[in-house]
Structure 1
């Protein structure tokens, strides 16, 4: 009976270790897909969204460096949700279904703010 209990504990620990390794590999894979994106960012009390200029897809924004929201606030808007042009470095991840971001299929995880401006350039972003 004691050997049986040890075997069960071993199997459970092996399962936990395998799950932990799988999550680490998934996070590393997402971070290896870092790219530069250009689009419009809107920020307010209940919304952080990014619209890609090239095709209009919308993403929830997770600001991993905590610099994007600060830069947006420094632009001095009187009202929230005013769009600004941004160039960001980041990667796309699946949205968490238990939060507000569940309204979006994907989340843009920002790793670096390259440019933020009130001036929206002519072209696909100005529509």
Structure 2
């Protein structure tokens, strides 16, 4: 009976610890949110974001499933046409099992602020 009680206490503590870790991760992601501006390209094999300010390129994970839909609604005939975007998200290390080795970081999109075929003059104009 004593062993049974210890096992129950262990399982409860394990559950509490797992929940606390999950909440810490979510809080960490929220505190790392940034607003970024750049060019987004989407196609069957690649989703990339190029930061306007320094030209660094990132893989994109569309956590809200709104970015890909907004891109598709612009009606391009060919994939991979760049569009100007302003996004809210955070940067994370890329999963090498699912992401091309060319990208060491991934932009996880939490909110689409703006998407446009019109690329503004300045650092984003190519």
TM-score range, shorter chain: 0.7 to 0.9
In structure 1, the gaps of 5 or more residues are: none
Q: Give the corresponding residue for 1:7.
A: 6
Task: Tell me which residue corresponds to 1:107.
Answer: 106
Asked whether 1:50 is paired with 2:49, we answer yes
Cα shift at 1:90: 1.6
- With over 3 angstroms needed to count, the CA separation of the structure-2 counterparts of 1:23 and 1:105, relative to structure 1, is farther
- Cα offsets for 1:59-83 (capped at 9, x unmatched): 2212222221111112211111111
Partner residue in 1 for 2:90: 91
Given the two structures, how large is their TM-score scaled by the length of structure 2?
0.83
The answer for the alignment partner of 1:68 in structure 2 is: 67
Task: State the TM-score, normalizing by the size of structure 1.
Answer: 0.82
Do 1:44 and 1:80's aligned partners in 2 also have CA atoms closer than 8 Å?
Answer: yes
**What is the CA-CA distance between 1:5 and the residue it aligns to?**
4.8
Counterpart position of 2:16: 17
Matched residues in 2 for 1:111 and 1:81: separation?
A: 21
Distance 1:52 1:79 in 2: 22
- Say which structure is richer in helix: 1
CA offsets 1:21-54 (integer angstroms, 9 cap, x no match): 1122112211222221000101011211111111
Unaligned residue ranges in structure 2 (runs of 5+): none
Q: Whole-Å Cα distance in 2 between the matches of residues 48 and 31 of structure 1?
A: 23
Count residues in correspondence: 126
Residue 101 of structure 1: CA displacement? 6.1
Partner Cα separation in structure 2 for residue 23 and residue 57 of structure 1: 30
- Is structure 2 residue 98 aligned with structure 1 residue 80? no
